[in-house]
Structure 1
Amino acid sequence: MRSTTFLIAAGALAALVSTGALAQQTRPTEWQDAPTITDADRATMRAYTEKEALALQVTLDKAGFSPGEIDGKLGKNTLRALEAYEGARQQKARPAENGGLREYQIASEDVAGPFVKVPADMMAKAKLERLGYASALEKLGEKFHIAPALLQKINPGKRFAAGATIKVPDVEGSIIPDERPAAAPANAGFGKVTIIVSKSRSALQVLDGDGNVVFRAPVTTGSEKDPLPIGTWAVNSVARNPVFNYNPELFWDGDASHAKAKIPAGPNNPVGSVWIDLTKEHYGIHGTPEPGRISYSESHGCIRMTNWDVQRVASLVTKGTPVLLVE
């Protein structure tokens, strides 16, 4: 978020990467999407049921072309992910088998809590010990990348209690909560990668050294009053479970009656479960407490993603990873 600072573990912030060092590296610089969906494809997809749309979203999620929150709808995030998938793979994406679902037995830690009602007011948030999940349903939804309401819908009459067997999207479950300390993680086997964020496409790509798409996801990229800072930057560090230092004076829409406050960590923190600090001061790539609003809402200038998607990005980058912010 623009003009915002964050508390992270000591030593997590690394030195800035020099512009000269970036210039010496040969990196991909072009966005990789190419339109692939034909009018005939669109006509076919308009006939998709909610179950078929869910299964298609699972295919995309598993392939690393995230549709964001799985909601059983062919909205813009899913269609853009579909185009990117088909352009990169040179093949049509098909709905996953078995409706994209698998059985999952709810573990005791899934429903252990503590669950809290998260207030909207920042001052009220500051009084809590942790901004955890509001319910087991929300926690399971985030774990399996699905809207809680849809998770409940595909499990009619089910109690979300330890030992119960439910249907969930057949995706790799996210680590909930991710309690690892703030640190730049090891790169996940793709060599040196580059991040490109497109303002016009409301999307982020991670590219390998040959320009291949390693991961893609929808993002929210600022607003008219807090635009995305177009340019070439780099990753400074990664902070997991960040505490948010709230200063209303730094926001154009800040509440004048509010005081500075430390907003506790947790998945429902204003910046979610991960903060990827950039060399552009006060800017970063971060999570969100509202995954269903990604690309449909505005931010204060930073790059906002679902918590599970930003966790994936954090696992792929290191200090110095180039970040290109483009129109």
Structure 2
Amino acid sequence: MTGLVSRFALVAVLALAACDDKPTAKPAPASTVQKAQTPIVAAPPVSAASSPVGQAINAAAFDPAATDPRARRDVLIRVQTLLDRAHFSPGVIDGRDGGNLTLAIRAFQKAHDMTVDGEVSQALLDALLATDGGPVLVDYTISQSDVAGPFMPPIPKEDYEAMAREPAMNYHDVVEMLAERFHMGEDLLRDLNPGVNFNQVGATIMVTAAGADRLDAKVDRIEIDKALGQVRAFDESGAQLAVYPATVGSTERPAPSGEWAVRTLAPRPTYTYDPSRLTFGEPKAKLTIQAGPNNPVGSTWIDLTKDTYGIHGTPDPKLVNKRASHGCVRLTNWDASELGSAVKKGAKVIFIGVEARPA
């Protein structure tokens, strides 16, 4: 992301965030960035999971007659991880069925000239494996830097005064940090590693070999489907680069319509709560919330030429496309980072469809 920051992100003195509610976001000062954990995802480990459970998931096949929930979970972990690596994001990899997984499957099927039904099948798994046959679970050794923090206590999402007292909006604990790094649900991370002390340096755990958060080309056009809750990224030739699940506005606070453009990028944005411009929260004074993955707009803010609107991350990845937003476009932190790392200044942003989700 450094190239993008030097190229156009830091020229933004002020980027407006959270849309209809009009708080503000801007690139964090250098002193704050040093205190805030960096949410950028490192390249995944390369050694396949050594445990029998990991080996079974790495070899999981689709069985339409299977009645064991664990067998279904294993196939879903494999499918979700392969979709993630192919840039058809299912959102959080959790081993569960859901709307975001269905959207990702349908997008993959359409792109590969398959029957578009959104269903998990052996044909889908075979098509995914034809593009990427690597293991989906790998071993990872917890390091000193993983457990060092700093971490912050959980804060209710509407307690802006408490957030503003924090020096940085860091992860709450090692589990949350590692789950986000590997695009996983925290429950799945714990379930795959029963009895593990995640604060023990040198402990070996199983994690998903998720995507590396890099696209193959620069993003020239972004299409935001308000009805589906989906963001699609294209290069200048019109080739589709990535598909992401997204929370896009609500019926009461809709996102914009029509064509706009990317104005600037704010990696690790701060967030300003301004009661004179907001329709939620109780604080009476203006507050600044520092950068970090648990910032209200997450780890990345992509500012649009439509004033006060943007595409951004979230501290609650499991809620993407499951709850309404105040008009902006909310992605998981890792998807927002991936999109931000490749988007061009001036890239077209086209909103289509109509929101179906109430506030």
Partner of 1:145: 183
Matches within 5 A, 1:282-297: 282-297=308-323
Q: Which amino acid aligns with 1:164?
A: A
In the other structure, the counterpart of 1:5 is 24
Superposition deviation, residue 98 in structure 1: 8.1
After superposition, give the CA deviation of every residue in 1:24-70 in whole Å (9 maximum; x if it has no partner).
xxxxxxxxxxxxxxxxx997799761121111100100100000011
Task: Specify which of 57, 61, 78 is matched with residue 101 of structure 2.
Answer: 78
C-alpha displacement of 1:223: 1.5
Equivalent pair of 1:222/1:298 in contact (CA under 8 Å): yes
Establish whether residue 165 from structure 1 lines up as the match of residue 204 from structure 2. yes
For residue 127 of structure 1, report the CA deviation from its aligned partner.
0.7
What is residue 223 of structure 2 aligned with on the other side? 196
Match of 1:106 among 142, 145, 149: 142
| Paired position in structure 2 for 1:226 | 253
Paired residue type of 2:225: S
Percent of matched pairs sharing the same residue: 37
- AA matched with 1:4: P
Structure 1 residue runs without a partner (length 5+): 11-40, 175-186
For residue 86 of structure 1, report the CA deviation from its aligned partner. 1.4
Matches of 2:75 and 2:264, distance apart in 1: 39
2:272 aligned with 1:272: no
Aligned in 2, Cα 1:286/1:145: closer, same or farther, shift over 3 Å? same
CA RMSD of aligned residues (A): 2.4
Map Cα deviations across residues 4-36 of structure 1 (whole Å, 9 max, x no partner).
3223269xxxxxxxxxxxxxxxxxxxxxxxxxx
**CA drift at 1:307:** 0.3
Q: Letter of the 1:150 partner, please give it.
A: L
Structure 1 residues 224-260: Cα deviation after superposition (integer angstroms, max 9, x where no partner)? 22101011111111111111011133232332x4321
Quick one: distance in 1 between partners of 2:308 and 2:248? 14
Q: Would you say 1:90 and 2:113 are equivalent positions?
A: yes
Taking the aligned partners of 1:130 and 1:264, their CA distance within structure 2 comes to 5
In the alignment, which residue of structure 1 is the partner of 2:346? 320
SS of the aligned residue for 1:193 comes to: strand
In structure 1, the partner of 2:153 is 117
What's the offset of the Cα at 1:107?
2.0
SS at match of 2:265: strand
Secondary structure of 1:102's counterpart equals strand
1:175-222 deviation line (CA, Å, top 9, x unaligned): xxxxxxxxxxxx965255210010011010001233322011100001
**Number of residue equivalences:** 284
Query: CA 1:210/1:42 → structure 2, altered by over 3 Å: closer, same or farther?
Result: farther
Cα contact 1:81–1:217 (8 A) shared by 2:
yes
Partner of 2:193: 155
C-alpha distance in structure 2 between counterparts of 1:226 and 1:287, whole Å: 18
* Cα distance per residue 1:246-293 (max 9 Å; x no partner): 1133232332x4321001111000000000000000010000000000
CA distance in 1, matches of 2:174, 2:336: 21
Structure 2 unpaired stretches of 5+: 1-17, 30-61, 115-122, 354-359
Are the aligned partners of 1:123 and 1:258 in contact in 2 as well (CA < 8 Å)?
no
Residue number in structure 2 paired with 1:34? none
Is the Cα–Cα contact under 8 Å of residues 193 and 208 in structure 1 kept in the other structure? yes
How far apart, CA to CA, are the structure 2 residues paired with 1:198 and 1:265? Answer: 28
Residues 28 and 290, structure 2, Cα contact 8 Å, conserved in 1: no
- Asked whether the 8 Å contact 1:223–1:301 carries over to 2, the reply is yes
Q: 1:318 to 1:64 in 2, by over 3 A?
A: same
Q: Distance in 1 between matches of 2:333 and 2:154?
A: 17
Match of 1:50 among 54, 73, 76: 73
CA distance in 1 between counterparts of 2:279 and 2:290 reads 22
Residue 45 to residue 63, structure 1, CA distance change in 2 (3 Å) = farther
Q: Which amino acid aligns with 1:249?
A: S
TM value normalised by structure 1: 0.81
Name 2:275's counterpart in structure 1: 248
Whether the 8 Å CA contact 2:140–2:206 is kept in 1: the answer is yes
Given the two structures, how large is their TM-score scaled by the length of structure 2? 0.74
